[in-house]
Amino acid sequence: MKINIYYGGRGLMDDPTLFVINKMKEVLEELRVTVEQFQLYELKNSITTLPQSLKSADGVILATTVEWYGIGGYMQQFLDSCWLYGDKEKISRIYMLPVVMSTTYGERDGKLNLTTAWEILGGLPCEGICGYIADTSILEENEEYIRIIEKKAENLYRTINQKMACLPTSNQAVKQKIAITKNINFTPQESEQLSQYVSDDTYVQRQKADIQELASMFRDMMGSSEKEDTTEFLKDIQEHFKPQPGIAGNYKLIIEEKKTPLIVEVNGGGLQCYYGEGGRIDVEMQMTREVLGDIVSGKNTFQSSFMAGDMKMKGDFKVLRALDQVLVFGAKPAGM
């Protein structure tokens, strides 16, 4: 029999969870159980590959510490990896005992979260152990508490050895329904290989760079086959310009569908707008052609588009707001 322990705490010396799992490990080894412990905080760069370690396990202990709220990021990341890359057929035969110690509040919620997650994965949960322990010495000096921990370890051994059945739960039904739409039908071997790629930062960065290079190449190919319109929006901007004394600024409008940015230079009573690369830029905006079209048609302003999240902006917000004062698209053009 083999039992894996996955510890999701930070490895602090006074962590009560470490005392509990070490005591359980002693009991299990006396029962001639092979126990392997995984410190998730030491394996944080390869957590996505850890579901592979479940293949040889008959049971697992998921142990974590609630220090302020929840089961912690390392344990959550491990459970996410089990859902994405784990062999669900193998997990369905693995018994899991949750161990959650709290130094603040929330040990019962943490234990319930681990149990629920394992059920959704399709595994077999056992009755776990949780408690509020402000000082580890409370555990070390209390024989009754130690006996409770030892009994839990013995019960886990009996459950696995006798292959005790578990009643079906609604959480497992949820897993079946989710899997219908989310599953990509990877084999366990393909999921295992994918998890290795995900944990390889160099591989991931290389793939991102390749995607960006391909995207740039296709944009260039499209640009060479279609001549870009470098007059669009210029007439609208020039006709709706209303000079305001004291207002000046250089604006760069990056339109997603165009390769060349639109430059608008305002200097008191003067205006220059053209497609190209300007000099000093006070405000840089990024938007789609449709968003800019709504602005020049008077449906929106630059400021309202930014506030609505339709446009990204870098620079001085006051200078951006001034642009709406000199480009009044809601009014009729001068001379009409």
Q: Extract the tokens encoding 198.
A: 């995900």
Question: CATH number of the domain at 2-198, please?
Answer: 3.40.50.360
Provide the pLDDT for residue 336: 46
Provide the pLDDT for residue 170: 72
Walking along the chain (336 residues) 10 residues at a time, the average pLDDT comes out as 96 93 96 96 92 95 94 95 92 96 93 94 94 91 95 96 84 58 54 59 69 72 61 90 90 91 90 88 93 92 90 89 89 52
81: CB partners within 8 A, 6+ apart: 47, 48, 49, 50, 51, 195
The yes or no reply on domain 234-326 and CATH 1.10.645.10 is no
Domain boundaries, the chain: 2-198, 234-326
**CB of 88 closer than 8 Å to CB of 121:** yes
Provide the pLDDT for residue 95: 97
Provide the pLDDT for residue 295: 93
DSSP assignment of 186-238 equals --HHHHHHHHHHHH-HHHHHHHHHHHHHHHHHHHHHHHHHS---SSTTHHHHH
Provide the pLDDT for residue 179: 52
What amino acid is encoded at 307 in this protein? M
Provide the pLDDT for residue 331: 59
Provide the pLDDT for residue 183: 47
Provide the pLDDT for residue 187: 61
Q: Rounded to whole angstroms, how far apart are CA atoms 32 and 35?
A: 9
**CB of 124 closer than 8 Å to CB of 94:** yes
Domain 2-198 shares a fold with domain 234-326:
no
Provide the pLDDT for residue 180: 45
Provide the pLDDT for residue 257: 87
| 3-class SS of residue 328 | coil
Provide the pLDDT for residue 201: 62
Provide the pLDDT for residue 211: 80
